[in-house]
């Protein structure tokens, strides 16, 4: 074991003493993550409805119907706001948190004749705000009719009747019609598409996978230089077995890739707000599997390449193939089924699935195990071929 660690320490020292390592292993991945996260915010298959924030300052049964009927209508997404946010409506709109903020003032339940009307705050030049405003106006008109009905019935019943309570009953009655139509589909159920990553949820794991693969160039180059300088021959003539040489090189490649990925994960969580912390154990399992595969790929390239130029060529081909085909540059969900199927023949696609199951879909540790096992299978395949080729020499 000591000889393996000695070979690993030698490789790590060579890599870390190279000034270019800081650029390619740390600086460039961080810059790419920030740039791509800001630049590529494509539409997703998430909820496309306008977002409406409702601040109920009246807190009565009738004012509560404003929120419940907006939710029941299904045309907008509704978020309930506290009283402290009533004066921040303009700021919430400006920051893009909501498309429309609806303020239901105190005294609203007194009725259309005496009570104040809800106030809608939005930028009417925005299409999403216009759609939200139409939905709010429809609900407000319906509740205004309910309030008028409550006043009429209260006037007919007498002084003891509460117009607001009668208005709530009228509105509830309209939501439960005596006759309803139910549509039953006879065809197949619609296929639910997975949510598509955008922004930092795509750029952070994508850059991690891309530069992990790009790092095989440095690792593979060490093996080629050892062969050219005859260091490898002298090493094998010493009391060191081929298995120990291979294990030392693979451990060094694994360590560099794992530490680089761990740094990008911490930065993604703390700086870019990517949700790696939702299932940290799952993220680390995928990272470990990815690092093992990249180490095996680096060993494979180092064995088959004869010159530094070949190392660069093979490493660049691997980075372009596995990054683009595996969804590191763009989500495979926005491509056709054929491209997505072909992409999942690559281990990089499974690495992206494992990371995004956590950061995008909010799944737990179990969602990372399947992708990790697939990646480990590819790692064993590359490792076996590299070892066979190394022994053949």
In tens digits, what is the pLDDT along the chain, a chain of 393 residues? 666 776 677 666 766 666 666 666 667 777 777 777 776 655 444 567 888 888 888 777 766 777 887 888 788 888 888 887 788 888 888 877 788 998 888 877 665 444 567 888 898 888 888 988 898 888 887 777 666 655 565 556 555 555 555 555 555 555 555 445 555 554 444 444 455 555 677 778 888 888 888 877 776 776 776 666 666 566 555 566 667 777 777 788 888 888 888 988 988 888 877 888 888 899 999 999 999 998 888 888 888 887 878 888 888 888 888 888 888 888 777 777 788 888 889 999 999 989 888 887 777 888 889 999 999 999 999 888 888 877 655
Sequence-ordered list of residues with C-beta below 8 angstroms from that of 188, at least 6 positions apart, any chain: none
pTM over 0.95: no
Sequence-ordered list of residues with C-beta below 8 angstroms from that of 305, at least 6 positions apart, any chain: 220, 224, 311, 314
The pLDDT, as a whole number, for residue 113 is 43
The pLDDT, as a whole number, for residue 340 is 83
Rounded Cα distance, 260 and 379, in Å: 18
Rounded Cα distance, 68 and 233, in Å: 77
Of the candidates 210, 211, 199, which has an alpha carbon nearest to the alpha carbon of residue 275? 199
Burial class (CB in 10 A: 0-12, 13-18, 19+), 52: buried
> Quick one: residue 363, left, alpha or beta (phi over 0 = left, psi -120 to 50 = alpha)?
beta
Q: Alpha helix (H) ranges present in 41-199?
A: 61-73, 89-94, 127-157, 163-175
Which tokens sit at 320?
């372009």
- Identify any residues that bridge with 143 across adjacent strands, giving them in sequence order: none
The pLDDT, as a whole number, for residue 250 is 79
The pLDDT, as a whole number, for residue 233 is 60
Q: Which residue reads 């991690």 in tokens?
A: 208
Sequence-ordered list of residues with C-beta below 8 angstroms from that of 92, at least 6 positions apart, any chain: 53, 85, 98, 101
The pLDDT, as a whole number, for residue 24 is 66
CB 273 within 8 A of CB 360: no
Sequence-ordered list of residues with C-beta below 8 angstroms from that of 302, at least 6 positions apart, any chain: 219, 220, 221, 222, 223, 224, 249, 311, 386
- Identify any residues that bridge with 52 across adjacent strands, giving them in sequence order: 78, 100
């Amino acid at each position: 074991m000591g000889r393996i660690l000695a070979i690993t320490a030698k490789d790590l020292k060579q890599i870390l003493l190279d000034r270019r390592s800081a650029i390619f292993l740390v600086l460039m991945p961080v810059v790419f993550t920030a740039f791509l996260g800001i630049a590529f915010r494509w539409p997703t298959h998430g909820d496309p409805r306008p977002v409406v924030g409702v601040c109920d300052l009246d807190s009565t049964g009738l004012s509560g119907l404003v929120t419940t009927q907006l939710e029941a209508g299904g045309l907008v997404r509704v978020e309930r706001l506290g009283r402290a946010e009533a004066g921040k409506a303009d700021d919430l709109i400006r920051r893009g948190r909501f498309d429309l903020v609806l303020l239901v003032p105190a005294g609203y339940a007194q009725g259309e004749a005496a009570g104040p009307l809800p106030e809608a705050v939005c930028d009417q030049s925005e299409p999403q705000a216009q759609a939200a405003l139409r939905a709010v106006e429809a609900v407000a008109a319906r509740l205004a009719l309910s309030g008028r009905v409550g006043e009429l019935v209260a006037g007919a019943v007498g002084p003891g009747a509460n117009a607001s309570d009668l208005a709530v009953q009228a509105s509830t009655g309209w939501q439960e019609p005596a006759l309803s139509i139910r549509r039953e589909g006879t065809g197949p159920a619609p296929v639910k598409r997975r949510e598509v990553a955008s922004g930092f949820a795509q750029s952070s794991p994508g850059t991690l996978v891309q530069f992990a693969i790009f790092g095989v160039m440095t690792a593979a180059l060490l093996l080629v230089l050892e062969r050219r300088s005859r260091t490898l021959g002298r090493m094998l003539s010493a009391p060191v077995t081929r298995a120990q040489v291979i294990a030392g090189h693979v451990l060094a490649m694994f360590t560099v890739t794992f530490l680089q990925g761990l740094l990008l994960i911490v930065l993604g969580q703390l700086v870019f707000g990517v949700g790696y912390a939702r299932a940290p154990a799952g993220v680390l399992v995928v990272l470990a599997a990815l690092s093992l595969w990249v180490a095996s790929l680096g060993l494979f390239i180092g064995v088959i390449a004869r010159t530094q130029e070949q190392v660069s060529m093979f490493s660049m081909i691997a980075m372009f193939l596995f990054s683009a085909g595996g969804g590191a540059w763009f989500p495979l969900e926005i491509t056709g089924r054929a491209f997505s199927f072909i992409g999942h023949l690559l281990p990089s696609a499974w690495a992206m699935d494992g990371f995004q199951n956590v950061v995008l879909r909010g799944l737990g540790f179990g969602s990372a195990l399947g992708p990790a096992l697939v990646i480990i299978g590819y790692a064993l395949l590359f490792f076996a071929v590299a070892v066979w080729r190394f022994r053949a020499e």
